[in-house]
Amino acid sequence: MKNILIFILFFLTHILIGQTTPNYAYVDSRMAIVPENLTTTTSDIATYINSNFTSQDEKIRAVYYWITLNISYDVPNMYAPNNLDSPEVKIAYTLKNRKGVCIHYAEVFNEIANKVGVKTYIIGGYTKQLNEVASISHAWNISQIEGKWFLFDATWGAGSIVGKNFVKKQNNIYFKTSPDKMIVNHMPFDYLWQLLNEPLANAEFISGKPDSTKPKMNFDYNAEIERYEKISDAEKAFEASKRIEKNGLLNNVIQEYYNMKKKEFTVINQNKSVEKLIEITANFNAAISDLNDFIMFRNKRFKPTQSDETLKKMMQDVRDKMNKCQEDVYKVGSVSPENAKNLNSLKRAILDGLEKTKESEDFLKEYLSKGSLGRKLMFTNLK
């Protein structure tokens, strides 16, 4: 555990040290003098960036430089749970305190980048340094610049942990990092975000050795990301969990993320089910209201007088609404235990409503089959 604490942000991977970065002196100089009053929200920072730079490349550099210059790693809270906080809470905390752990860096990067017009996502995964796999998860970013995807890790770009202290030292190693270099020590939980045509399995990443027995795979990540962006949140969570499982649940951090994605899929579906439940309840209440209106009209001996066709339509509208509620309520899907009782109650109420509808339908059918005198006699016997 001690070694992991020391090396989790320690940048000694020789493969990456030689990476060069274009000259961003002008961008960096402008971002080094952002007025303090323009750095309290991501919107203010984004406005400053948009006012000073035009290209996506300059803007993403501005985002990376400002964060790595101003945010320090919060070592005491490295292992503190933060997954319950919303992105808004994480971002507000980071900008106020000028510190955070990896997810705080990633959330701020993601928010500002998207606000300056650079499509960006947060990547969840785990890391490895000096052949040691970290015991906690990590977060970094992926951005699309002029149609091409690049990887960023503002956390590791801001400095490193030495002993139990964070030593601030900006570096460009994790700015616009190519996928083949990032995969050396950053492993996404979902191999979609490796940006590799031949994704690594978790076993290969952990061991550092390729698996010659693994089936060859020509993975078109560009097409898959484009498809990913078009599907629902539930489908995204479901497909991600399948890819994570396929790549091997080999350690606790992978297993935890896999469980989270499965839970996310379940929660999204349950939330959709609740939305359907609310909608069906509203439709059922409307059907009951129409049925009650019909019964009240019947009790008034169908006065003022309406044509037979009008009466038939009134009753058919009620029947159609009741049938639709019954059809929809059995398509709600899974709900939480807390809402299961509500769902069952609604099902029983709809059945009761259908029975009452049938009673009114039978009355109307008989009423319409009679002449004027027979119709009057029916109301005399009506209870």
pLDDT confidence band for 382 (50 / 70 / 90): low
Dist CA 353 CA 343 (whole Å): 15
pLDDT tens, residue by residue, 257-293: 999 999 998 888 888 889 999 999 999 999 999 999 9
The pLDDT score that the predictor gives to residue 364 is 95
**Position 11 pLDDT exceeds 70:** no
Question: pLDDT (tens digit, 9 = 90+) per residue, 180-190?
Answer: 999 999 999 99
State residue 163's pLDDT score.
87
Predicted confidence at residue 22, as pLDDT, reads 64
Where residue 111 falls among pLDDT bands split at 50, 70, 90? very high
Region label for 301, one of left (φ > 0), alpha (ψ between -120 and 50) or beta (otherwise): left
Residue with token string 């007025």? 35
SS3 299: helix
* Nearest in space to 85 (alpha carbons), one of 67, 68, 101: 101
What mean pLDDT do residues 338-354 have? 93
Q: Of 61, 260, 87, 303, which Cα lies nearest the Cα of 175?
A: 61
Instruction: Give the single-character DSSP code of 313.
Output: H
Q: What are phi and psi of 138, to 5 degrees?
A: -135, 160
Q: Is residue 184 exposed (0-12), middle (13-18) or buried (19+ Cβ within 10 Å)?
A: middle
- Distances, alpha carbon 167 to alpha carbons 18, 80, 86, 127, 163, in Å: 21, 20, 28, 19, 10
Domain ranges in the chain are: 2-208, 271-380
Q: How do beta strands 72-73 and 99-100 pair?
A: parallel
Q: In the CATH scheme, what is the code of domain 2-208?
A: 3.10.620
Section 345-369 average pLDDT: 95
Considering 70-84, 152-166, 262-276, the range whose residues carry the highest mean pLDDT is 152-166
The predicted structure's pLDDT at residue 119: 98
